[in-house]
Chains A and B, each alone.
Chain A
Amino acid sequence: MVSIMSNQIQTTEDEAALARLAAADTNAFAELYRRNLTRVYRYHMAHTGNVKDAEDLTSQTFMAALEGIHTYRGSGTFAAWLMGIAARKRFMHFRGTRHEVPLEAADEYPNPELPTDKAAMQRLQTQSIARALKQLSSERSEAIILTYFGGLNYGEAGQVMNKNESAVKMLVSRGVQDLRERTSLKMEVEE
């Protein structure tokens, strides 16, 4: 079976109802999986910069979510709950193994479906963004990755990072500023 990609943003009430069903209903969990697969995968891709690690961590995240689905009580969105698991899995991954392959060595394009020239450009863009994010403080890069790649709003990202919405906004703002300065410097050097 292939995943279903929903094209519409689902309401949190809808996902809360699905989560209640999901402990017992395979299809309900499968629906949650389909709706959230991309955000989890993008999150891990932004951190690891390579497809294999992103896929491994995505698998681990959803397996852990399946095991722990009964603990989701609806306080906070399901997406935030799930991304909290993703963050923990990422932490354990980097803590326990050395999977930080130099980005330049990554072979696979992040999206194998694009035409070759677009894929090449996207690959470079993904790699350069991931490289730049690694140079930020861990909290700023995490805030940016949760919001831009994980698709969480500030409140949800705050739930994951144990900070309030204002703190996350500040981290994202300062992180983006940091990126702006670093990329500007890079451009100046290259020019």
Chain B
Amino acid sequence: MNEFNNHKPIEQNLEETANGIQPNAMFAAELEEKLRQAHRPRRKLASLLPRNLVQALTGFAALAALTLSMVWLLKAMDFRNTPGESFACPVTAPNGSLPPGETVASKDYLGNGELWTSLWPDGRVIMDEHNRETDGSFSMKWGFVRGVTGPLTVTGRRLDADAEPLRADIPDGYGDTGFQVTALIFPSTGCWEVTAHVGESSLTFVTEVIFGEATPTPEVHVQATSEAVVENPIESPAPQGEAFDWNGTTLYLNATMPDPPAEMKIYLQQDEIRATLEDAQSLAARFKMNGGIYEVPGEMPNTIEFIVIDGNRRLRIRSDRYFTYYPNYADYSNAYGTMDNPNATALINDFLIEYGFNETYKIQRNDDYIYFALPQTPDGYVIHEDTLLENGLGFRFSQSGILSAEANLTQYDLVQPVTLISAQTAFERLIDPFPMHDNIQKATSIGLNGIRTWARVQPLDVTQTYFGWLNTTGRSVTGGDPYIAFNEIPVAGNTAGIGENMQGVFIETSGYYHEEGGTLSFVMDSWKALEGYEENYIGSLQAENGGFILIAQDGQRLTVTDLPADLPLPAKDISISGVTQGDVFNWRTIYNGPLGGGGGGGGGLGFFKLNLSGTPIPLPTQVPTPTPEPLSTAPLEGVHGIVTVTIFDRSDGTQRREYVFLRDASVSETSTNYYILEGDGLEALDAYHHLPIVIWGTPTTDSDGLTSLRMERFEVPYPDLKFQLLNGAQTLITANGQSVTLLTMADGTQYATLYADGTPSNSLINNDGDQVTLEALLIPGETFEGYPALRFFGGGLSQNPTTGEPFEYVLNADQPIETDEMPQFGAYTATIENVDLVYYTPNLRYNDAYPYAEPPYIQPVWRFSGHYSNGDGFEFLMQAVEDKYLLPAHIFDP
């Protein structure tokens, strides 16, 4: 059957296929919930346990974080309900006892060898409005670690007055030992004795519970301004050198500008010559390999390449220019990225000598921990390309040695000599706010740096059941049997039923690993293909009750065994692959890479084409880009809008409040309706988070276009207005040419839904007609096209579409947002640490058609390299030839 509709253009097929792909609604919902949880780590305990997800806190570090993160500066607090002067609460002092599995000491730990907890500084628990329950009691998250097996219970009594006993919410899902989170509910402030019980074991402590509010005076530690705080968690030396304003970032030039030589050269890349069998044999001999040679599909369509396999070694050959050698292919395929190796230079030197790379190579390492052996041009320079790999040999390492040596060896011919501009001229062009000369950017960021891989070490000569990937080649070029690999280990033994060219088949197999003559192989007894594929989890690993447990991001808890002795525990943010068998996760590889990562790249016009005719052609005159008109700075007088309050928790335990005024867009006369508030007395807005206010103030706009408003005063037009949870059916309509979502209540009332700024919303939760619950404000008198209006600040389906059970919502739109302070990108600076001359040429490896409008020249460039203050590296390459060698057209221009 032909799946393509041959009556339709291929473009239509593509569009229809794309439009037919929709994410599963439950997946979408669960992911949104996870993101919300990740965004707001301090929601009340009940709302941290959604319907079928358990948010497990990893390790005792979480316990400490729960405690330490709620530290307030005591001197700024207005204490109320303190015990009478005649009673001194005998608070328990911590003993610093380290809970099992924990490696980070804290003076706040209290433990007795069976149970542990973490105490508040000075034994005082500071409660605020966020902790107050509807019945007046105070709830606080509290963690315990069980060194004994059994469910945890917690009891408590007030020592300084009569009171109802302590209550405790203790969620399921934390197993029988180890960490257990709770919510302790103190019916009142005062002096409290708390006892945790597990079976016959118990741990008792006394703590003082206090209710405190921030004072309205400037002595309160939280700042009354909203200026951005520079917080750089990565230590870097203070910037040095002259500072320049560069695209909103401060650029420091902390390097000398070398003088250019009298001339450099223009070279021209030779065409790549695809490898023949003879070439493959010759290169295999160079690498002293005697194994089989196999033809395999090439990287590019309609091409073939060769692989040579000799034991665990592998050599892949594409051409005279591109080939890769793997000393142990299984190690390479299990590794995630590359690592720094202290012996890298020596290992590279040995490699070059052993395998006959006799030129002079310059060895460098980039920020991604890839080492390069860079050959030099006849005039003594290295050649850089516009990809991660440079022209030369790129080496990736594990802790034990070379994982791969990848060749990118461009061949070239001399064209002519050229003269150069100075480094100073190139730098001025780089920082020109109206650049005419484009640059090539290369950047590295935290991602692949130093990711450690652990591959499970299997016993030798012990028959067991294993899971993994089966790959086979075709027959060898000499007619020999296909090469068969299990997890990239060569297979011997009973291979009946394994055919040629099997790629990525997931199997269960019985057999044993065997080592002989330095080669590891797998001797197979039997095998069968499995449906599905290897599982991969991201989560944390920790010790628990004599064993180890994997706590996945989705809350699953699985036992793991046989972890490497050098894997530091607890290990957070790890990626682990394997197969689940019952409650045990049979792991195969573990990576400890970070989860973060940036995105996007540059783009741009590209370099100017080269003019090698000998007749200069003037470049176009640069026309400055018009400066955009500044936004109106006319005072705001009596402007309506919504205020948001965000509390940023800094890593040093302090907090910063940010106040934002979101102007009602319907009355906006400017292109912005978003103002960061400044001025005194902003804390008075704390009670009006997400509520309408009327404001007076003076706006200012910075160079990034962010607008601040120095608030003079504000009024609250609807002092009794409160948020509501509204249930109804949603429908999308068009009213007076505008698309808007209506919410129809059970009594027939219909509301037009608006965003926070009063603009109409046409968002739908799942499908048109579904019953939804919205956190909403009904502003008196607000309408939209004849409908009463509501402004919504959150919502979701009213019931589970699979089970029909109603969802429970906790209304929290009126709660100031509390989140961790993150470094502001605009606060990052960049420092140029080195300026030098190199050659540049485009990398053509993955281009089956040449994409540029001029031949692949190799030309000199000034390279400005350094780091941002967050540790990311950068390189900027500027054309170094004088303007007489440039055409007024770019390399992408036809």
Interchain CB contact under 8 A, B32 and A2: yes
List chain B residues, Cβ under 8 A from A23.
822
A162 with B595, Cβ < 8 A, contacts A149-B21, A190-B2 known: no
How does the 8 Å CB contact mask read for B322-339 relative to A, with 1 for contact and 0 for none?
000000000000001100
Q: Which residue of A lies closest to B386 (CB)?
A: A162
Distance between B869 CB and nearest chain A CB, rounded to angstroms: 13
Q: Which residue of A lies closest to B605 (CB)?
A: A164
Interchain CB contact under 8 A, A34 and B603: no
Interface residues in B555-597 by Cβ distance below 8 A to A read 575, 577, 591, 593, 595-597
Interface residues in A175-190 by Cβ distance below 8 A to B read 176, 178-180, 183, 186-187, 190
| Candidate in A7, A113, A162, A179 with the most chain B CB atoms within 10 angstroms | A162
Bound complex: CA of A81 vs CA of B6, how far in Å?
36
List chain B residues, Cβ under 8 A from A62.
31, 35
List chain A residues, Cβ under 8 A from B575.
96
Q: Is B435 part of the binding interface, using a Cβ–Cβ cutoff of 8 Å?
A: no
Q: Is B717 part of the binding interface, using a Cβ–Cβ cutoff of 8 Å?
A: no
Q: Is B102 part of the binding interface, using a Cβ–Cβ cutoff of 8 Å?
A: no
Bound complex: CA of A73 vs CA of B706, how far in Å?
11
Q: Which residue of B lies closest to A56 (CB)?
A: B536
Bound complex: CA of A92 vs CA of B248, how far in Å?
31
Known: A3-B25, A25-B817, A62-B35. 12 other contacts (CB 8 A): A1-B32, A5-B766, A25-B644, A27-B794, A64-B596, A70-B822, A71-B825, A92-B593, A100-B504, A111-B22, A144-B14, A148-B15
Bound complex: CA of A81 vs CA of B603, how far in Å?
13
A127 with B36, Cβ < 8 A, contacts A71-B598, A85-B599, A137-B300 known: no
Interchain CB contact under 8 A, B534 and A124: no
A42 with B21, Cβ < 8 A, contacts A6-B763, A62-B31 known: yes
A1, A54, A59: the one contacting B797 at CB < 8 Å is A1
Interface residues in B846-894 by Cβ distance below 8 A to A read 846-849, 851, 892-894
Bound complex: CA of A89 vs CA of B271, how far in Å?
33
Q: Is B33 part of the binding interface, using a Cβ–Cβ cutoff of 8 Å?
A: yes
Q: Is A12 part of the binding interface, using a Cβ–Cβ cutoff of 8 Å?
A: no
List chain B residues, Cβ under 8 A from A70.
822-825
A170 with B851, Cβ < 8 A, contacts A2-B765, A24-B817 known: yes
Distance between B285 CB and nearest chain A CB, rounded to angstroms: 30
B22, B534, B822: the one contacting A98 at CB < 8 Å is B534
A136 with B763, Cβ < 8 A, contacts A33-B32, A64-B596 known: no
Bound complex: CA of A99 vs CA of B503, how far in Å?
11
How does the 8 Å CB contact mask read for B604-634 relative to A, with 1 for contact and 0 for none?
1110000000000000000000000000000
Distance between A116 CB and nearest chain B CB, rounded to angstroms: 14
Interchain CB contact under 8 A, A186 and B32: no
List chain A residues, Cβ under 8 A from B134.
none
| Candidate in A4, A21, A45, A149 with the most chain B CB atoms within 10 angstroms | A4
Distance between B226 CB and nearest chain A CB, rounded to angstroms: 11
| 9 interchain residue pairs of minimum CB distance | A84-B599, A1-B796, A162-B601, A3-B28, A84-B600, A85-B599, A2-B29, A128-B3, A24-B646
Interchain CB contact under 8 A, B20 and A114: yes
Interface residues in B99-129 by Cβ distance below 8 A to A read none
Interface residues in A1-58 by Cβ distance below 8 A to B read 1-8, 13, 17, 20-21, 23-27, 29-31, 33-34, 37-38, 41-42, 45-46, 51, 54-56, 58
Interchain CB contact under 8 A, B36 and A30: yes
Interchain CB contact under 8 A, B601 and A98: no
Interchain CB contact under 8 A, A98 and B14: no
Q: Which residue of A lies closest to B604 (CB)?
A: A164
Q: Is B17 part of the binding interface, using a Cβ–Cβ cutoff of 8 Å?
A: yes
List chain B residues, Cβ under 8 A from A27.
756, 793-794
Give residues in A with beta carbon < 8 Å to B.
Answer: 1-8, 13, 17, 20-21, 23-27, 29-31, 33-34, 37-38, 41-42, 45-46, 51, 54-56, 58-60, 62-64, 66-68, 70-74, 76, 80-89, 92, 95-102, 105, 110-114, 121-122, 124-129, 135-139, 144, 148-149, 151, 155, 158-167, 170, 174, 176, 178-180, 183, 186-187, 190
Interchain CB contact under 8 A, A126 and B20: yes
Interchain CB contact under 8 A, B599 and A2: no
Bound complex: CA of A190 vs CA of B674, how far in Å?
60
A24, A26, A60, A105: the one contacting B531 at CB < 8 Å is A105
Q: Is B24 part of the binding interface, using a Cβ–Cβ cutoff of 8 Å?
A: yes
Bound complex: CA of A1 vs CA of B705, how far in Å?
34
| Candidate in A62, A68, A176 with the most chain B CB atoms within 10 angstroms | A68
How does the 8 Å CB contact mask read for B7-20 relative to A, with 1 for contact and 0 for none?
00011011111101
A4, A159, A174: the one contacting B603 at CB < 8 Å is A159
Distance between B4 CB and nearest chain A CB, rounded to angstroms: 5
List chain B residues, Cβ under 8 A from A54.
23
A20 with B300, Cβ < 8 A, contacts A5-B766, A82-B599 known: no
Bound complex: CA of A101 vs CA of B817, how far in Å?
42
15 sample A-B contacts, Cβ–Cβ < 8 Å, listed by A number: A2-B25, A7-B764, A26-B817, A30-B32, A33-B31, A34-B763, A41-B22, A46-B18, A46-B21, A127-B3, A137-B301, A138-B846, A148-B18, A179-B14, A187-B2
Interface residues in B815-851 by Cβ distance below 8 A to A read 817, 819, 822-826, 846-849, 851
Interchain CB contact under 8 A, B646 and A186: no
A84 with B598, Cβ < 8 A, contacts A96-B575, A166-B892 known: yes
Bound complex: CA of A180 vs CA of B14, how far in Å?
11
Interchain CB contact under 8 A, B795 and A1: yes
A101 with B603, Cβ < 8 A, contacts A25-B644, A64-B595 known: no
Q: Which residue of B lies closest to A4 (CB)?
A: B763
- Where chain A touches its partner, the secondary structure class is helix
A25, A85, A186: the one contacting B598 at CB < 8 Å is A85
Bound complex: CA of A95 vs CA of B39, how far in Å?
29
B10, B597, B658, B801: the one contacting A64 at CB < 8 Å is B597
List chain B residues, Cβ under 8 A from A38.
21-23
Q: Is B362 part of the binding interface, using a Cβ–Cβ cutoff of 8 Å?
A: no
Q: Is B34 part of the binding interface, using a Cβ–Cβ cutoff of 8 Å?
A: yes
Interchain CB contact under 8 A, A51 and B739: no
Q: Is B414 part of the binding interface, using a Cβ–Cβ cutoff of 8 Å?
A: no
Interchain CB contact under 8 A, A3 and B301: no
List chain B residues, Cβ under 8 A from A102.
504-505
A2, A100, A113, A128: the one contacting B22 at CB < 8 Å is A113
Q: Which residue of B lies closest to A145 (CB)?
A: B18
Q: Which residue of A lies closest to B38 (CB)?
A: A66
Bound complex: CA of A150 vs CA of B248, how far in Å?
30
List chain A residues, Cβ under 8 A from B38.
63, 66
Bound complex: CA of A187 vs CA of B8, how far in Å?
13
Q: Which residue of A lies closest to B822 (CB)?
A: A70
Interchain CB contact under 8 A, B674 and A88: no
Bound complex: CA of A20 vs CA of B18, how far in Å?
30
Interchain CB contact under 8 A, A99 and B764: no
Distance between A31 CB and nearest chain B CB, rounded to angstroms: 8
Bound complex: CA of A51 vs CA of B28, how far in Å?
13
Bound complex: CA of A186 vs CA of B13, how far in Å?
15
A111 with B21, Cβ < 8 A, contacts A1-B29, A2-B32 known: yes
Q: Is B469 part of the binding interface, using a Cβ–Cβ cutoff of 8 Å?
A: yes
Interchain CB contact under 8 A, A84 and B35: no
Distance between A96 CB and nearest chain B CB, rounded to angstroms: 5
Distance between B24 CB and nearest chain A CB, rounded to angstroms: 6
B28, B506, B599: the one contacting A37 at CB < 8 Å is B28
Interchain CB contact under 8 A, A158 and B603: yes
Distance between A121 CB and nearest chain B CB, rounded to angstroms: 8
Interchain CB contact under 8 A, A26 and B40: yes
Q: Which residue of A lies closest to B772 (CB)?
A: A2
Q: Is B538 part of the binding interface, using a Cβ–Cβ cutoff of 8 Å?
A: yes
How does the 8 Å CB contact mask read for B497-520 relative to A, with 1 for contact and 0 for none?
000000111100000000000000
A67 with B596, Cβ < 8 A, contacts A20-B706, A34-B763 known: yes
B4, B11, B22: the one contacting A125 at CB < 8 Å is B4
Distance between A60 CB and nearest chain B CB, rounded to angstroms: 7
Bound complex: CA of A33 vs CA of B892, how far in Å?
35
Interchain CB contact under 8 A, B39 and A66: yes
